[in-house]
Structure 1
Amino acid sequence: MIDHEWRVLTGAGLSEVAALAARCLAVHGGLPLAAEPSFLQRRFAARAVTARDPAGRLIAAAGLRDDDGGGGPVAAWLALPEAVDHAGAAVLDAALAAGAVRVETEFLTVAAERLFARRALVPDRAEDVLRFDRRHGISAAALPAGITLREWSTGLAPRFHAVYAAAFRDRPGFPGWDVTQWTRWLVDDDFRPQASLLATGADGTDAGFVTSAAGWIVQVGVRPGWRGRGLGAALVCAALRRHDADAVLLDVAVGNPAVRLYRRLGFDPLGRRGTYRVA
């Protein structure tokens, strides 16, 4: 049974969505944060449509919000495994009818992929969520000879950004942000400057970087000319030593060969998340 009326979710409504996300998380795995009300607030509170089973239990939901970048409405979607093809499809259809141009899910399963394909949605991004348990010890990956590390500061932001641009500009979906846009996206209350590091070679060339938030490795990048020397592994390990959380997460694009590095360093897969767009 779908509630076709879009509505603002109250605290109780958000708690129901959080409980639904927790059930999805228990089955599919994925980002633990995805079941927390603080995470779901922005995605579902403004406008949401829900579906229930005959007993009244919430089994699927879609939230609709405006894209910060002005790209059109974005839908957040989730459904229990057994509800994907009926209730999940119904709330997805409601989101598309309301004008959603992108659909994101924290639980990208084979069934969800098939549903999105039937709705002619095009994959935009798919990421595996990986987890590192610091209690198991951190690899002693050494920095390449001559490399020094500096922690994030406002004054160093342009140099971090220059390495970020050099490392990522050829990747699909690179947003092309300038230093102000990138810094605004990166630095928030959870940002960890002490675990965000710039790697500089003996000749003064900035070779790589890593940025961190609370319990997260946010980005790792190495200039093309410095790849293959172990710098990425050394940066990740250096950042892990500066984190204070027992568990540290990161996202890696599906198909990115860097996943082999992260697995070698001790990261374990938790689940998959993704974004699709209207063709």
Structure 2
Amino acid sequence: MTDDLRELRDLARACLDADGGLPLLVDDGLLRARLLSGDTRQVRAEDGALVAAAAVTVRADGAATSGLVHPGHRGRGHGRELLGWAVDRAGAVPLTVTCEDVNPAAERLYARFGLTRVFAEAVMRHPLGSVPDVPPPAGVTLVPVTDAHPADLFAAYAASFRDRPGFPDPAEAEWLEELDEDDEWRRDVSAVALDEHGEPVGFVNVLGSWIDQVGVVPTWRGRGLGAHLVVRALAALEGEAWLTVNEDNPAQDLYAALGFERYGGRGRWR
């Protein structure tokens, strides 16, 4: 297992260096979930080096697969072979392909197999060398989560996202418990925005170096509150900051204006 993880980590790093994508792809937990669960298959060069790998998990209601091909060994049919193998293993159940480092060749391959993209996110990073100054809108006070009422944080989240299609509408206790159980949650950097009446109007949650969620209630949108929430978090972080955003979300332009750079993308095909 240790050798498998080391080789897969090297393969994932080579793909990320070439394509960009989700940097967490090199973490052992994600590698196990994506490429060491269910049925697995590997392709090796003549010298024994791992140059491609895939895994597929098949259940009664559907199958899921992920795969990687080393940039130096693309164009040799390895991706087609691995995806064909996953399709055969899936049999009659629908197959979902999860890709954390999308590249044009992979997208063309998925299309040739009749797969359609059902989810797409841009991965963006901020070098934190220069963080713009965006003042808060008049009448707004930001309270770090360490000092905020948990109910205000949840209220800001629910009011910010409830109008979006597919909003999961979780129970307050369930949502807060999930955050509390995350060791990466930066309560000191995460914050709730309150208006002059003490009502929650926006929030930002930070997990490690990731801007995980940013939300502004509808009546406060367009006033620069979202940008202020982001730069406030950036100013408190070190090294670099990351986020993901749906490809069709206009907030991607806002993040670019705040100094975020695109670092590839991730997606799912079915």
TM-score range, shorter chain: 0.7 to 0.9
Deviation at 1:172, TM superposition (A): 4.7
Deviation at 1:206, TM superposition (A): 1.3
| Structure 2 counterpart of 1:175, one-letter code | P
Indicate yes or no: 2:251 matched with 1:258: yes
Distance 1:102 1:228, change over 3 A: same
Deviation at 1:20, TM superposition (A): 0.8
Aligned to 1:165: 158
Identity %: 38
Indicate yes or no: 2:99 matched with 1:105: yes
Aligned to 2:22: 31
Match of 1:57 among 34, 46, 49: 49
| Structure 2 counterpart of 1:139, one-letter code | P
Task: Map 1:1-279; keep pairs closer than 5 Å.
Answer: 10-47=1-38, 48-64=40-56, 72-81=62-71, 82-83=73-74, 86-99=77-90, 101-134=95-128, 136-152=129-145, 156-187=149-180, 188-243=182-237, 245-277=238-270
Aligned length: 264
Normalised by the length of structure 2, the TM-score is 0.86
| Structure 2 counterpart of 1:262, one-letter code | Y
Q: Contact 2:148/2:192 (CA < 8 Å) preserved in 1?
A: no
Name stretches of at least 5 consecutive residues in structure 1 with no aligned partner: 1-9
Deviation at 1:65, TM superposition (A): 5.2
Q: How far apart are the structure 1 equivalents of 2:163 and 2:67?
A: 29
Q: How far apart are the structure 1 equivalents of 2:132 and 2:21?
A: 24
| Structure 2 counterpart of 1:253, one-letter code | N
Distance 1:18 1:84, change over 3 A: farther
Q: How far apart are the structure 2 equivalents of 1:210 and 1:43?
A: 29
Q: How far apart are the structure 1 equivalents of 2:252 and 2:109?
A: 27
Deviation at 1:84, TM superposition (A): 6.2
Q: How far apart are the structure 2 equivalents of 1:240 and 1:30?
A: 20
Q: Which moved more, 1:147-156 or 1:186-195?
A: 147-156
Q: How far apart are the structure 2 equivalents of 1:85 and 1:166?
A: 50
Q: Which moved more, 1:163-172 or 1:26-35?
A: 163-172
Distance 1:194 1:97, change over 3 A: farther
Distance 1:30 1:204, change over 3 A: same
Q: CA RMSD in A?
A: 2.6
Normalised by the length of structure 1, the TM-score is 0.83
Deviation at 1:73, TM superposition (A): 4.4
Deviation at 1:199, TM superposition (A): 0.7
Q: Which moved more, 1:150-159 or 1:258-267?
A: 150-159
SS at match of 2:154: helix
Deviation at 1:248, TM superposition (A): 0.7
